[in-house]
Amino acid sequence: MISYLVNRVAQSLFVVLAMSIIVFAGLYIIGDPVQVLVSPEATPEEIMQIRQRLGLDQPLVTQYFRFVTAAASGDLGNSFVYNESAITVILRHFPATLELALTAMVISILLGIPLGVWAGLRSETWSAKTIMAASTVGASLPTFWVGLILIMCFAVYLGWLPASGRGETRSVFGVDLSILTLDGLSHILLPALNLALFKISLVIRLARAGTREIVGQEFIKFARATGQSPARVIFGHLLKNIMIPIVTVLGLEFGSVLAFSVVTERVFSWPGMGNLLVRSLFLLDRPIVVAYLMFTVVIFVVINFFVDLIYTFLDPRIRFAGKAA
């Protein structure tokens, strides 16, 4: 077990290092950030000075080693645009993204499970068939386009909900949250629903499959035979058993929700990390882009690490395979 862990940690570190080389070397090729920073009237001497100050006149390898040694101590350079530590800028935008992703997960559970259970219990009715057809279409909808349609319907034509931004936030332990104010809630509803769309389809499918499998089993029949109300059977016995695989799958999908939030944030001008990334790409704010990519890679490496760890505990075959090797 310990050798497996050590192995896995080494593998994770290797991934982070490999990604840092790819990201750094790649970004060096695109654009010259100095051209964006200086005014068009700047003299060649002034441009030279800025290059020296930012360290852009050094060879690529030297720049990379300076980057890695600094990155190891948590310093990913200063943003050219914000003129402060890139990782600070990223961390300031992270809560908004996390809040959006978590709200989307909650929405997908709250909508997906009742619909899926219904479709599983009454699989022959037209309502169940409609739900399943809708989930098939939902899985093939282009997310960003649905976001625009949501804005068009609810913000432009009906005027019920705001089209962009985070609204009023309330600070909890120094982290600003939108879900705690009414104005913030009205702002987060559309983007979270948009981001949840794909996961709702997924949860419906999982809940339906789980329900159909469990409904036929002995303990459900027994619960019914003891005269418990249908509601009690569903909430007390059925839900408890279908929740385990759903929560597992959603946990595994959390990373992809974070990644896809870039698109949703862009559509709804949500001031999160993804929006920051796309803006920084266009402004050639290299430190921010590098910091974003490294931050995301680390998040994913950590998520994958824990997923593997949980699997190792759940599935003895992986453990034994590690021992045999």
Partner 1 sequence: MSFFSSTIATLALSVLVIISLAALFAPWISPQDPYDLMQLSIMDGELPPFSEGADGLIYIAGTDDQGRDVFSAILYGLRTSLSVGLISTSIALAFGLTMGLISGYFGGWVDAVIMRIVDLQLSFPAILVAMILLAVLGRGVDKVIFALIVVQWAYYTRTIRGTALVERAKEYSEAARCLALSNVRILFVHLLPNCLPPLIVIAILQIGHAIALEAALSFLGLGVPLTEPSLGLLISNGQEYMLSGHYWLTVFPGVALLATMVAINLVGDQLRDVLNPRLRA
Binding site for partner 1 (CB under 8 A): 15, 22-23, 26-27, 29-30, 136-137, 139-145, 148-149, 151-152, 156, 163, 255-256, 259-260, 262-263, 266-267, 277-278, 281-282, 289, 293, 296, 300, 304
φ, ψ for residue 55 (rounded to 5)? 80, 15
Least spacing, CB of residue 285 vs partner 1, in Å: 12
Residue nearer to partner 1 on the CB measure, 4 or 144: 144
Least spacing, CB of residue 211 vs partner 1, in Å: 21
- When computed from its CA atoms, the radius of gyration of the chain, rounded to whole angstroms, is 25
With b for 16 or more beta-carbon neighbours within 10 A and e for fewer, the 132-147 pattern comes to beebeebeeeeeeebb
Residue nearer to partner 1 on the CB measure, 52 or 269: 269
Residue nearer to partner 1 on the CB measure, 189 or 289: 289
* 300 Cα distance to chain centroid: 10
CB-count burial class (<10 Å; 0-12, 13-18, 19+) for 210: buried
If one counts every other C-beta atom within 10 angstroms of the C-beta of residue 262, the result is 20
Which tokens sit at 231?
């509601």
Residue nearer to partner 1 on the CB measure, 98 or 141: 141
Least spacing, CB of residue 32 vs partner 1, in Å: 13
Residue nearer to partner 1 on the CB measure, 154 or 237: 154
Least spacing, CB of residue 301 vs partner 1, in Å: 8
Alpha carbon distance 101, 195 (integer Å): 7
If one counts every other C-beta atom within 10 angstroms of the C-beta of residue 77, the result is 20
Q: Do 288 and 280 contact (CB within 8 A), yes or no? A: yes
Residue nearer to partner 1 on the CB measure, 123 or 143: 143
Q: Do 208 and 226 contact (CB within 8 A), yes or no? A: no
Least spacing, CB of residue 15 vs partner 1, in Å: 6
Residue nearer to partner 1 on the CB measure, 93 or 237: 93
Q: Do 23 and 293 contact (CB within 8 A), yes or no? A: yes
In single-letter form, the type of residue at position 57 comes to D
Least spacing, CB of residue 325 vs partner 1, in Å: 11
Least spacing, CB of residue 256 vs partner 1, in Å: 4
Q: What angle do CA 242, 307, 72 make, to 5 degrees?
A: 150
